Amino acid sequence: MVLARRINALPAAVYRAWTEPALLTRWFAPLPYTTPHAELDVRPGGSSLVVMRGPDGVDMPNRGVYLEVVPNQRLVFTDAFSSAWEPSAKPFMIVTLTFEAEADGMTRYTARVMHWTAEDCAAHEAMGFHQGWGICADQLEAVAAAL
C-alpha cells in the first residue's frame, strides 16, 4: 500500500518529525488516538518503541527495528524484529518512507507499506490504512511546517 503527499515543509523537517521522539509523539497516531511514548534509536539495527493509546485508554505498543537510515531522505523499518534483531512473534509489515525535496520548498512524502501476507495487507486495509495514515500525514505536516 502507498500513501503519497506533498508536505509544506522541507525534507529535513519531515525527517526530524519522524526521528525525534518529542516530535513524533505530537502527530503519530490519528486523533482521537494519541502517542504517549516513543523511544527511537534511529540507525540501521536500532530499535524503536512507539506506544499508541486508544480513546478507551488501551495502550498499543509497536516495536520495531530500523533497516536503513538516510538522513533527510529515507527511513526503512520493520516490526519483524522487536529489538536487537530478536524476531517478533508475528511480523506484519515493512515500511519505506521517502522525503524528496521539491523545487518550491515542499517535500514529496511517500510511505510504502509491504506486508508479510496478503491477509495482513487486507487486514491493514480494513483497519483504515489510507484514512488513518492520511490523518497522520496531515498531523505530520502541521508539526514539520512549524519547525
Question: What is the per-residue pLDDT across 24-68, written as a single tens digit (0 to 9) for each?
Answer: 999 999 999 999 999 999 999 999 999 999 999 999 999 999 999
Residue 31 grid cell: 486523533
pLDDT bracket for residue 84 (50, 70, 90) = confident
Task: Name the residue with higher pLDDT: 85 or 66.
Answer: 66
Determine the residue type at 101: A
* pLDDT over 70, % of the chain: 100
Q: Candidates 3.30.530.20, 3.40.50.150, 3.20.10.10, 3.40.190.10; correct CATH number of 2-145?
A: 3.30.530.20
Instruction: Please state the pTM of the whole predicted model.
Output: 0.96
Strand ranges of the sheet holding 34-40, from the earlier edge strand across to the other edge: 2-7, 107-115, 93-101, 74-78, 59-70, 47-53, 34-40
Q: Which residues are bridge partners to 107 per DSSP?
A: 7, 101
**Which of 127, 52, 124, 53 minimizes the C-alpha distance to 95?**
124
Confidence at residue 103, expressed as pLDDT on a 0 to 100 scale: 94
